[in-house]
Structure 1
Amino acid sequence: MVFLQLFKKILCCLAFSYSVFLALPATAVEHIAPPALSSIENSDIERLLPNAEIKPILAGDTEFLSLYSEYMSSNFRGVVLLIPDWHSVPTNNSGMSFLRKELNNLGYTTYAMTVPDIDWQAKKMKPVTPTDAVETSTSDESKSDANEPEKQSAEPHYVSAIEPVNNDVLEDYKTNLILRYEALYQTAMAEPSNIVVIAQGASAGMLLEYYADFPESKINAFVSLSSYLPNAQRNEELSQATSLVAPALLDIYYTNDSTDILLSLKNRKRWVNRNAKFDYRQRQLFGMRNAPQQHARLSKEIDGFLRRLF
């Protein structure tokens, strides 16, 4: 009996609390956007690395961080610009962090660049011209005049495969990447020397497109690490662009790279032969790219390639 009375009191309390909750005014929770990935990466870099190695550089209106490390051998051989893959960091364990210090021992001063954020919502809006408006109105009138049998007899429409990343996103990232690269290049040009660029993944693919257009910035060598573009058409065209770049090119890939990279390698060689790019070399590395032995092989291949040039 006592238990029953206690249970009734609990139910009354719950009912009262629920009625009070319903009487409260409904308030929407304010949306707080998450911090940009680049800001998190910059915070980690500033917290974990020595201040002497961190050099902010201004690219247009945007400031980005680069990691500076001076050569530590008796002979100064040049400056190396290290550019990681997109959504990656210059301290990644896929070769960038190792090369940043190991190349110092081989006579190179290194600058490792942080890459821009990816705007997945990037979209280019096509401006509407008077001609477009006339064509649209004419098209609407013709559609209204068309009868139902004609619609049924129309030829079938085939839809192309959806690209993993559309051109608008790639172009937005490429624009910001090249802006940072040119600012880093001007910094490296402060002291005349040999300039080498080592880039990874999609960043390397976009720089290959950039060099194929023969820009004003002159470099002595370019090292591509698993270069590709996450767009089928652009990646197919990258094979031809690879054969058109002016600097000497070392094209390194790994056995466990993606299918898009591995299938394009033979096509790159075909374009290189057609356009007679005699300073192109293609090298394969076995094993995991984050293993210490792999890092040693990577630096050995790069050093051997550069020693043939200067």
Structure 2
Amino acid sequence: MPYLLVGLLIAIFGAAADSYASALTPEQALTADLNRQLPAYEQTEQTVNGSTFLLLQRENMTSFTKGTAILVPDWSQHAASPKHIDHLRQQLNDYGWHTLAIMPPSYPEHPLTEDSLQQYQLSLKARMEAVQRTAEQQPGVSIVIAQGSSAAVLNRLYADKQLQEPAAFIMLGAYLPDQELNRQLAKALASHQIPTLDINHQYDNGYVSSQLKLRQQLAKKQLKAIYRQRQIVGSGYHYDEQEWVLQEIYGWLTSVGL
């Protein structure tokens, strides 16, 4: 009988845990994981339209402050994404940058439509505006480092003048999972004059690699003043590749006076 009781309790608690997990959105589940894994002093909450989202912040570790680097992971990732975002949010502190890493909104359902993309774009815009207000409390300029589809969406927002322009915009493997929307990304990139570093990886998906040449061509055609494109060997998850990207970003920022 005791064994039956123990088994029943295990089943009840297991079912309750499964029910709780299924009730969470992907963003809530990722936030809960980061709450457990990261120190409390790095975590803060921002409120937009009555709902909160996680923001990870770290102060610069130099005697001078260059400004604030706002990091935006791909919409399928989280604020401490192991593909560059977590490495950059920690290492840029040693180069004079205060870092703010955003938890992105839950990604839209697939297949992607213009309506679902617009909904994500509105949510990301609201979060960026809130984080920009936080960045303005720090001395220096603000730069934005964004990844994947989030980078592509921010690129659209900058092209449409819907967000305050940063001093520099760094894209990591930017793409949208739709052929025509991905082509529009290249047109939007060429239409704004924000200094832009476009980094991609050898093993990025086909949506990224298919538009790289077009981005260069349109940037030249539209006389985009500062645009550099760099390809990194590998996938972006290994330490040496992440250090390579860090040095590319640091070197490029220095070259444009930041």
State TM-score, norm by structure 2.
0.88
Give the Å deviation of 1:260.
Answer: 1.4
Does residue 81 in structure 1 map to residue 70 in structure 2? Answer: yes
Quick one: distance in 1 between partners of 2:236 and 2:59? 25
Letter of the 2:201 counterpart: Y
Give the Å deviation of 1:169.
Answer: 1.6
Does residue 59 in structure 1 map to residue 48 in structure 2? Answer: yes
Q: What is the aligned partner in structure 2 of residue 272 from structure 1?
A: 219
Give the Å deviation of 1:79.
Answer: 0.4
RMSD: 1.6
Give the Å deviation of 1:170.
Answer: 1.2
* 196-205 or 43-52: bigger deviation: 43-52
Quick one: distance in 2 between partners of 1:269 and 1:119? 29
Give the Å deviation of 1:118.
Answer: 2.8
- SS of 2:79's partner is coil
Quick one: distance in 1 between partners of 2:238 and 2:169? 23
Aligned residues: 238
Following superposition of structure 1 onto structure 2, how do residues 74-153 of structure 1 map, counting pairs within 5 Å?
A: 74-120=63-109
Q: Would you say the 8 A contact 1:214–1:246 is kept in 2?
A: no
Give the Å deviation of 1:174.
Answer: 1.2
Q: Would you say the 8 A contact 2:69–2:100 is kept in 1?
A: yes
Runs of 4+ in 1 over 6 A off after TM superposition: none
- SS of 1:86's partner is coil
- SS of 2:174's partner is coil
Quick one: distance in 2 between partners of 1:279 and 1:177? 25
Computing the radius of gyration from Cα coordinates, the structure with the larger value is: 1
- SS of 1:251's partner is strand
Quick one: distance in 2 between partners of 1:66 and 1:180? 10
Letter of the 2:95 counterpart: L
Give the Å deviation of 1:214.
Answer: 2.3
Quick one: distance in 2 between partners of 1:216 and 1:289? 28
Quick one: distance in 1 between partners of 2:127 and 2:195? 22
Following superposition of structure 1 onto structure 2, how do residues 243-262 of structure 1 map, counting pairs within 5 Å?
A: 243-262=190-209
Ranges in structure 2 where 5+ consecutive residues have no aligned partner: 1-18
Following superposition of structure 1 onto structure 2, how do residues 12-31 of structure 1 map, counting pairs within 5 Å?
A: none
Give the Å deviation of 1:194.
Answer: 1.1
The equivalent position to 1:218 in structure 2, one of 152, 156, 165, is 165
Letter of the 1:199 counterpart: A
Letter of the 2:44 counterpart: K
Quick one: distance in 1 between partners of 2:192 and 2:146? 14
Quick one: distance in 1 between partners of 2:235 and 2:210? 19
Q: What is the aligned partner in structure 1 of residue 155 from structure 2?
A: 208
Q: What is the aligned partner in structure 2 of residue 283 from structure 1?
A: 230
Q: Percent identity?
A: 31
Q: What is the aligned partner in structure 1 of residue 253 from structure 2?
A: 306
Q: What is the aligned partner in structure 2 of residue 5 from structure 1?
A: none
Q: Would you say the 8 A contact 1:118–1:173 is kept in 2?
A: yes
Q: What is the aligned partner in structure 2 of residue 144 from structure 1?
A: none
Quick one: distance in 1 between partners of 2:33 and 2:111? 30
- SS of 1:243's partner is helix
Give the Å deviation of 1:279.
Answer: 0.4
State TM-score, norm by structure 1.
0.74
- SS of 2:45's partner is strand
The equivalent position to 2:210 in structure 1, one of 263, 266, 285, is 263
Give the Å deviation of 1:44.
Answer: 1.2
Letter of the 1:79 counterpart: T
* 110-119 or 209-218: bigger deviation: 209-218
- SS of 1:290's partner is coil
Q: Per-residue CA shift, 1:242-288, capped at 9, x if unaligned? A: 11223200000001111111110010111101110120000010023
Quick one: distance in 2 between partners of 1:291 and 1:206? 26
